[in-house]
A = this chain, B = another copy of it.
């Protein structure tokens, strides 16, 4: 584990860390914000999974999460969105929605992706183990959120690990990848054409299949250019209603898909998670 940078901010420490990953067989870089409270006791962890084209850096620079994390005593971990580096295959057509920066938080089974594109194992197993070992994190108190492709990641990770997370939220998530172009391309590419294998990586399918969480918070912008074709929050609304999962879905007039939107509601999400992380 190599600390790439460390900066004091909002009373805590913002670190960027590189380490050799067994999951992806590459170096992986993530950021972690340690609030001032870690000097006194282990702190709960909020995971943030990023969207297409992003690295750890986008939310670290533009997410405006540090003030709220420092206030509530929450560690904020932001992994990368795919393996990177020499020898890691990328989409031959160079598109933004598959390959580098677009791991979709699955373990690929198709070639040539299967060797490196193992983001599911990385974010659900390897990185939590590293965080628990190396930082003053209270791993009995974890929550998870994410944006767009990372909202998909947060929701599917939480639904597959109902006992691990106190709460789950998302910003403009892809909720039904099996039913939208971004998701169909990615899941077919990484997992192959057998759609049965897609279901545990599809929030709506998971809920329809009986997976559950206590409640879900989702924010989406009404001026998000991807809302109708890729995000389709109404599908999550229908599945949650049918399954009896309390969903708070807030549609915000004028907001788009950018970090100007995310940063506006970031403090809300952190306060919401912190309330649940503090219970019991």
Contacts and interface: CB of A to CB of B under 8 A. Distances in A.
A264 B62 contact: no
A255 B263 CA distance: 23
B223 A260 contact: no
A22 interface: no
A131 interface: no
Nearest to A65: B64
Interface in A169-226: 221, 223
A81 interface: no
A14 interface: yes
A88 interface: no
Interface in A42-81: 61-62, 64, 66-67
A223 to B, nearest CB: 7
Interface stretch (A3-11, A150-158, A236-244, A272-280): A3-11
A94 interface: no
A8 B223 contact: yes
A264 B261 CA distance: 20
Q: Size class of A's contact patch?
A: 20 to 34
Contact of A11 (B11, B64, B66, B264): B264
A267 interface: yes
Given A67-B267, A267-B67, A260 B62 contact: no
Counting chain B CB atoms within 10 Å of each CB, the highest count among A7, A10, A14, A258 belongs to A7
A8 B267 contact: no
A64 B67 contact: yes
Contacts of A7: 256, 258, 260-261
Contacts of A267: 67
A85 interface: no
A254 interface: yes
Given A67-B267, A267-B67, A9 B260 contact: yes
A221 B9 CA distance: 11
Contacts of A221: 8
Contact of A261 (B8, B62, B258): B8
26 contacts: A7-B258, A7-B260, A7-B261, A8-B221, A8-B223, A8-B252, A8-B254, A8-B255, A8-B256, A8-B260, A8-B261, A8-B264, A9-B255, A9-B260, A9-B261, A9-B264, A10-B263, A10-B264, A14-B260, A61-B62, A64-B64, A64-B263, A66-B260, A66-B263, A66-B264, A67-B267
